A and B are shown apart, each in its own frame.
Chain A
Amino acid sequence: MSKFKKKKSGELPAVSTASLPDIVFMLLFFFMTVTVMKDSDLMVKNSVPKASEIQKLDKKDPVMYIYAGKPTPKYQKKGGTSDQVQINDKFVSPDEIPNLVLEYQSGLRQELQDRFITALKVDKETKMGIVTDIKEALRDANALKINYITTEGDPLEGLK
């Protein structure tokens, strides 16, 4: 008898998915902001060790990265299976490091040059031999500030 009768009473309304894009966009923006595109393709294994006494490198610091470790399977044809040093997309021998470091350093502004830091991203299974070679090369180039890149954690965990 009433004029305003509900047409389909009793049926559950569908859950609105209209806000789904908003949620996805929110996630998208999060990942967009935290993403750092890799500047060089890693050719060596690179799982860094853990340490607790760590210091964060500032984004504004002039940092040069040196990678070392065993070449990944894809690059073993080129680099063999023993420990290799990688700088900017190619394998280098330790003798070439001083020139590369000096080249990088001379491209920096004057006030940044004495804050120059070399970051060593070395795989934890690497032997110290090649790391010692890198360190000697850096001493030759007078690039004395170094940082062993690590993740935060207990360094003794993996050694027991």
Chain B
Amino acid sequence: MAKRSAPEVNAGSMADIAFLLLIFFLVTTTIETNQGVSAKLPERQPPNQEAPPIKEKNVFMVMVNEQDQLLVEEELMGIEDLREAAEDFLDNGGDGSCTYCQGVKDPASSDNPNKAVISLKNNRGTSYEMYVAVQNELQAAYNSLRERERKRLYPNEVEWREMWAQYNAAKTSDARKEALEPKIKKLQELFPQKLSEADTQRD
């Protein structure tokens, strides 16, 4: 009998098998969206404790009604103007103690960024989409002011939002975090985020 070489395995169906697996994974895949707008809820206060008095001019009132209309400082406003209005309010520096503020120093608006409080109130009928948009715009106002100071104080550093992301990421090295910490603290101190959703007492 003639010597036969071993028959080759037909790999033609390999592609079919791989396709089958591929389609299975394609169908089951949901690329997770693990990102979003961060917020911090206020702590529950003991019931008999009175809120510290805040001057009316230091409160930036933002209200959203059930028709998703925005009332800012008792005036109707479109959401596209909210960021700028919030920045102007925070950056106002009415009492002159804020040396880095570039606002108009309007005595009827906030004294300094340390005292300026943004108070957000919503109705039970407000849509969630609108609420997130408002939160986003207010957050953006703080972020852009901090970014401005970052440019002034730490021009060689990465952008403020990037600094903050690196500081919060678990994969960032400890040395980098330690280097970032004082800078982040400083920028937060210049424009402390005072975004209140609890009832702000006015006097």
Chain A residues engaging chain B, CB cutoff 8 angstroms: 17-18, 20-21, 24-25, 27-28, 31-32, 34-38, 48-49, 51-61, 63, 119-120, 122-129, 131-132, 135, 138-140, 142, 144-152, 155-156, 158-159
- In the complex, the number of residue pairs spanning A and B with C-beta atoms less than 8 Å apart equals 172
The verdict on A60 contacting B170 (CB below 8 Å), with A31-B22, A32-B25, A124-B128 known, is yes
Known contacts A126-B128, A149-B33; 18 further A-B pairs (Cβ under 8 A): A24-B15, A24-B22, A28-B22, A31-B25, A35-B29, A36-B31, A48-B33, A51-B133, A55-B165, A124-B129, A126-B127, A127-B126, A127-B128, A129-B125, A146-B40, A148-B38, A155-B129, A159-B129
Cβ–Cβ contact B28 & A37, under 8 A: yes
Cβ–Cβ contact A56 & B127, under 8 A: no
Which of these, A56, A122, A126, contacts B165 with CB under 8 Å? A56
The distance from the CB of A66 to the nearest CB of chain B, in whole angstroms, is: 12
User: Which 9 pairs of residues, A with B, have the shortest CB-CB distance?
Assistant: A129-B124, A124-B129, A31-B25, A155-B133, A149-B36, A24-B18, A128-B126, A51-B136, A53-B139
Q: Is B108 an interface residue (CB 8 A)?
A: no
Which of B41-49, B52-60, B94-102 is the interface stretch?
B41-49
Chain A residues with CB under 8 Å of B41's CB are 135, 138-139, 144-146
The verdict on A34 contacting B31 (CB below 8 Å), with A24-B15, A49-B129, A159-B68 known, is yes
Complex formed: what's the CA distance from A19 to B121 in Å? Answer: 61
Chain A residues with CB under 8 Å of B133's CB are 49, 51, 155-156, 159
Task: Give the residue name and chain of the B residue nearest to A83 (CB).
Answer: B128
Q: Is B71 an interface residue (CB 8 A)?
A: no
Q: Is B132 an interface residue (CB 8 A)?
A: yes
Interface of A is mostly: mixed
Chain B residues with CB under 8 Å of A51's CB are 36-37, 132-133, 135-136
Q: Is B30 an interface residue (CB 8 A)?
A: yes
- Chosen A-B contacts, 21 in total, with CB atoms closer than 8 Å, are A21-B11, A27-B22, A31-B22, A32-B25, A35-B28, A53-B140, A54-B37, A56-B35, A57-B36, A119-B34, A123-B128, A124-B129, A125-B128, A126-B127, A128-B122, A145-B38, A146-B38, A150-B132, A155-B133, A159-B79, A159-B130
Complex formed: what's the CA distance from A155 to B21 in Å? Answer: 37
Chain B residues with CB under 8 Å of A126's CB are 127-128
The verdict on A25 contacting B33 (CB below 8 Å), with A139-B41, A139-B43, A159-B129 known, is no
